Structure 1
Amino acid sequence: MAEGGNGSPTAVPQNIRDGSPTGVLGDWDASKGKEQPTASKISQPEANTMRTHTGEKPYKCDQCDYSAIQKCNLEQHLAKHTGDKPYMCRKCGYRTDRKSNFLDHLRTHTGEKPFKCDQCDFSAAKKYSLDQHLAKHTGDKPYMCGQCGYRTTQKTTLSRHMSTHTGDKPYKCDQCDYSAAVKSTLDRHLTKHSGDMPYMCGECRYRTVSKYNLSVHMRTHTGEKPYRCDQCDYSAANKSNLDSHLSKHTGDKSYMCGECGYRTAYKSTLSRHMRTHTGEKPYNCDQCDYSAAQKSQLDYHLAIHKGDKPYMCGECGYRAALKFHLAEHMRTHTGDKPYRCNQCDYSAALKSTLKRHFKTHR
């Protein structure tokens, strides 16, 4: 057991298996108890590089058919079998099996963003976030779907997209019949069984199941809006909000309802719309017989049971049960009016207000 400092792991992972490759890159001298180099010996980094070309994966799990190029990858995989999460944050109790995840998590408390863009003032807590941002400058989207032409900056995003064509949901819950196309979606689902919400805001004690949700929530305190439209001065705290905004410029609404002709830019929006025809209400309250067509409606209802209002305004102390309501409230301080009429120069802080305005044009 290692001595833990502030934010340090409470235990050091132990190698519970040898995990050695089946082929040996040198001679073993039993009398001296160490490997003796030969003329053919190459360094471990060189060996790992060679395996990326040959496809060799010598480190094999003895509990399933997983294999890896590097021993460290095998050790990370083995933690899934043991359930061991030795790295623990002393501030909020978050635990993980990887040191890199632990260090990333600590930045949610410190606010440190060491990865900086050399073309603008953007900075990020994670390197991959910077890589995603840099693609906005280059416009490069090298990964393309062969079925619909969808392009993206990341291989993982393309993999997730492909599941919309295949319907494949390989990540299955071991406590119910739920399955998901993406592991992170399954992880969020599992918290419904465990009740675990390891990520906590240091400003207002808001808790969530996802580190991403926490980072987005923190923007309600900082006012940060890192997602900027390249066609106007609009900016957003969430990428999904920017994507919605961009559709106003392109006019692209590729998803259409076969019942009434309603069109939208998003598949998820169409799915929600279809429930107005089917009457389906898949989101059920576990404390009464209430059910809802949308998750946001259920979240609002659950807040009535709990009386919980985790979202707080840093300006005046106003509290809300839903993040959406806090975002609307913040506009009373910022004066932001993101909803714009496409027929005149009117703009509004609330979407409902803009809808009422549209009636003046009829």
Structure 2
Amino acid sequence: RKGPEVHSVTPVMLAQGAIFTYTGLQSLPVPGEISNGASSKSGAKGHEGVPCGRCFRQRGNLAVHMRIHTGEKPFSCPDCGRLFAYPSMLVRHRRIHSGDRPYVCGPCGLQFSQRAHLVQHQLLHTGDKPYSCPDCGRCFRQTGALAIHRHRHGGEKPYVCTECGRHFTHPSLLAIHQRTHTRKKPHICSDCGRGFAYPSLLTNHQRVHSGERPYPCAHCSARFAQQNNLLQHQLIHTGEKPYECPDCGRCFRQSGSLAIHRRTHTGEKPYSCPECGHQFTLSCVLNSHRRIHSVERPFPCSQCGKTFKQKSHYVWRWHV
């Protein structure tokens, strides 16, 4: 039986006959006495993590839990030096470098580096959308998609990039964006000098120079330099569109296509003309616009040789 509630570092009398106090990174036992002969099998948890009040039966579990509060990350990746709080997180991370994808989908054969990603993918086959919006009742396959959607009800973008001031609806979107400011790229391609954050990314890139395509499609004769490209290609054969817009429900085969589509909802125009400041949703539209400011006329008429700035219907119907 546990004694009265306590706070901070006040000692706690426990049924096991020991008192435990929180001292920085450890919880140390101090001999105590059982007042009424309580059994050691009472089930009380004998280690208390004071910052949040959670209790643990074993000191080791408390030590692991305390990393949440201290920020300690004792496990280092030997490939890139990134630090992790738990060995399981390091194991998952190292699959980025090795390319290991041990979790295989039975119905379609797609492979994943994390079990959670496989579980999310399998919802495509079952059709389940287990996460429901309490505001409008709309359902989603992923908790992240639901979280992004819920911000749309309030129009909130509470997550701000400290480097450039851009606002985001969800912390995961901010985290992805911040990599553009912070990521180091120490692995350099000897052919072109381009830098990469991880050795595996450099290996994938070097196939551009070598022409190697080690990933064949089982359904057709296509071959690919990267496994991700093969996985994207296989969606053509399976008909799957795993990337769902949290705003309108439209689905896409590629995450990049979804990102471009979402600009129709957000109004985001990230590409700005340096000459006049006009902003555009797509980089290709910006490139087309910039010819207005230049003398470039890259589209010649095949009949008379007259050149044009835009590849438009006007070019092809000039002689009609």
Relative to structure 1, the CA distance from residue 162 to residue 100 in structure 2 (aligned partners, 3 Å threshold; closer, same or farther) is closer
- Aligned residue pairs total 226
2: CA distance, partners of 1:74 / 1:194: 23
- For 1:273, the equivalent position in structure 2 comes to 288
Do the aligned partners of 2:133 and 2:139 also contact (CA within 8 Å) in 1?
Answer: yes
Structure of higher CA gyration radius: 2
- For 1:263, the equivalent position in structure 2 comes to 278
- For 2:302, the equivalent position in structure 1 comes to none
- For 2:231, the equivalent position in structure 1 comes to 198
Is residue 2:144 matched to residue 1:117?
no
2: CA distance, partners of 1:254 / 1:63: 35
Match of 1:205, as an amino acid?
H
Matches within 5 A, 1:174-323: 177=192, 193-194=225-226, 196-199=229-232, 200-201=234-235, 205=237, 214-216=241-243, 227-228=247-248, 238=258, 240-244=260-264, 247=267, 255-258=272-275, 261=276, 263-266=278-281, 268=283, 271-273=286-288, 276=291, 277=294
1: CA distance, partners of 2:113 / 2:97: 11
- For 1:144, the equivalent position in structure 2 comes to 160
- For 2:3, the equivalent position in structure 1 comes to none
CA RMSD of the aligned region, Å? 5.0
Query: Which of the numbers 151, 154, 170 marks the counterpart of 2:185?
Result: 170
Match of 2:272, as an amino acid?
Y
Q: Residue deviations 1:143-171, cap 9 Å, x none?
A: 112354321123342244346667x6739
1: CA distance, partners of 2:89 / 2:140: 25
Deviation at 1:87, TM superposition (A): 1.2
Deviation at 1:125, TM superposition (A): 1.4
Relative to structure 1, the CA distance from residue 240 to residue 227 in structure 2 (aligned partners, 3 Å threshold; closer, same or farther) is farther
Do the aligned partners of 1:257 and 1:270 also contact (CA within 8 Å) in 2?
Answer: no
2: CA distance, partners of 1:155 / 1:181: 22
Relative to structure 1, the CA distance from residue 107 to residue 245 in structure 2 (aligned partners, 3 Å threshold; closer, same or farther) is closer
Is residue 2:149 matched to residue 1:129?
no
Deviation at 1:180, TM superposition (A): 6.9
Deviation at 1:73, TM superposition (A): 0.7
Q: Under a length normalisation based on structure 2, what TM-score does the superposition of the two structures give?
A: 0.52
Deviation at 1:142, TM superposition (A): 2.2
Relative to structure 1, the CA distance from residue 26 to residue 83 in structure 2 (aligned partners, 3 Å threshold; closer, same or farther) is farther
Deviation at 1:103, TM superposition (A): 1.0
Ranges in structure 2 where 5+ consecutive residues have no aligned partner: 1-24, 30-44, 48-56, 208-214, 216-223, 252-257, 299-310, 315-320
Relative to structure 1, the CA distance from residue 170 to residue 120 in structure 2 (aligned partners, 3 Å threshold; closer, same or farther) is farther
1: CA distance, partners of 2:260 / 2:99: 33
Query: Which of the numbers 121, 139, 145 marks the counterpart of 1:105?
Result: 121
Q: Under a length normalisation based on structure 1, what TM-score does the superposition of the two structures give?
A: 0.47
2: CA distance, partners of 1:65 / 1:239: 30
Deviation at 1:135, TM superposition (A): 1.3
Do the aligned partners of 1:114 and 1:123 also contact (CA within 8 Å) in 2?
Answer: yes
Is residue 2:118 matched to residue 1:85?
no
Relative to structure 1, the CA distance from residue 171 to residue 65 in structure 2 (aligned partners, 3 Å threshold; closer, same or farther) is closer
Relative to structure 1, the CA distance from residue 76 to residue 139 in structure 2 (aligned partners, 3 Å threshold; closer, same or farther) is same
Of 264-273 and 170-179, the range deviating more from structure 2: 170-179
- For 2:68, the equivalent position in structure 1 comes to 52
Deviation at 1:116, TM superposition (A): 1.3
2: CA distance, partners of 1:81 / 1:180: 12
2: CA distance, partners of 1:50 / 1:151: 32
- Give the share of equivalent positions with the same residue, in percent: 24
Do the aligned partners of 1:79 and 1:97 also contact (CA within 8 Å) in 2?
Answer: yes
Relative to structure 1, the CA distance from residue 133 to residue 226 in structure 2 (aligned partners, 3 Å threshold; closer, same or farther) is closer
2: CA distance, partners of 1:25 / 1:56: 16
Relative to structure 1, the CA distance from residue 146 to residue 278 in structure 2 (aligned partners, 3 Å threshold; closer, same or farther) is farther
- For 2:169, the equivalent position in structure 1 comes to 153
Match of 2:230, as an amino acid?
M
Do the aligned partners of 1:253 and 1:265 also contact (CA within 8 Å) in 2?
Answer: yes
Do the aligned partners of 2:103 and 2:115 also contact (CA within 8 Å) in 1?
Answer: yes
Do the aligned partners of 1:112 and 1:125 also contact (CA within 8 Å) in 2?
Answer: yes
Ranges in structure 1 where 5+ consecutive residues have no aligned partner: 1-22, 28-37, 208-212, 220-224, 229-234, 282-296, 298-351, 356-362
1: CA distance, partners of 2:161 / 2:279: 21
Match of 2:231, as an amino acid?
P
Do the aligned partners of 2:187 and 2:195 also contact (CA within 8 Å) in 1?
Answer: yes
